[in-house]
Amino acid sequence: MKKLLLMVLAVAMVGMAGCAGTIPTDSYMPQNFIRFDNKNPVDMGNFTYQPFLDGKVKPNQIQNTAMGSIYISSNVAEMVRRATALELEKTGLKLTDQTDISVAGDVLEFKADDLGYSVDWTYAIRYKILSKKDNKTLFTREYRPPMKSTGKFGLPSDLAPIVHEVILNGYDMFVRDAEARAILDKAPPEPEKKK
C-alpha cells in the first residue's frame, strides 16, 4: 500500500511540474495587416492586468484551470503594452510623447483552460484612447477574440506563438473598429520643434 501511495505521489508531482513553466514571450513580432495612410502621432498610456489587480494571479502569470502555473517572461500588462506599441507602429502610427492622444488598455482576462485533451486560450482586453491634455476618454471598448485551442503537451517555447496570436487578435479587433480608427487616423499632428 505504501508503494502504491508513493507511486501516486510521484506521478502527481511529475504532472504538476509539467504544468508549470515560463513561456518566453519577449520576442513579439508585429503581424497585423491594417495600414493607415498617414503617420499620425500617438503615445502609449498605462496598461493593467485585472486578474493580477484582483489578487488572482502574479503579474506575469496566465490564469489556468489545472494544477500548476503558467508564467510568461514579463508582466502581462507590460507585454501587451509593448505588443500594442509594435502593432501601432506597423499600422503606420508614429509613437511619441509629444502628442495629445494616447492608447491605453486593461487586460481583463488571459486564461488557459487546460482541463481535457487540449488547451483553450481566452483573452479579453479593454482598449482606450485618451486625450492627455484634459484626461478625457475619447474611446473605450472591450474586445474578446475567438477562443484558440492548442495541444496540451510541448515545451514552453511552443506556446509563445499562441500567446502572441491571442494578443494580435485583440489588437486587430481594436484597429479595425471604425470608431477607434476614426480617432487614430485623425490624431492631431505633432507639434513643431523649436529651433
Q: Which residues contact residue 150 at a Cβ distance below 8 angstroms, ignoring those fewer than 6 apart?
A: 118, 119, 121, 159, 162
- Residues 94, 190 contacting (CB under 8 angstroms): yes
- Residues 11, 58 contacting (CB under 8 angstroms): no
- Residues 112, 105 contacting (CB under 8 angstroms): no
pTM above 0.85, yes or no: no
What are the 10-residue block averages of pLDDT along the chain, 195 residues in total?
Answer: 38 38 72 82 96 96 84 93 95 93 97 85 97 94 94 70 92 96 75 55
Q: How many residues does the chain have?
A: 195
Phi first, then psi, for residue 54 (nearest 5°) are -80, 0
**Distance between CA atoms of residues 75 and 69, nearest Å:** 14
**Distance between CA atoms of residues 80 and 186, nearest Å:** 24
Give the per-residue pLDDT at 162.
Answer: 86
Give the per-residue pLDDT at 7.
Answer: 37
Q: Which amino acid is at 10?
A: A
Give the per-residue pLDDT at 85.
Answer: 96
Give the per-residue pLDDT at 29.
Answer: 81
Give the per-residue pLDDT at 121.
Answer: 93
Architecture of domain 43-184: 3-Layer(aba) Sandwich (3.40)
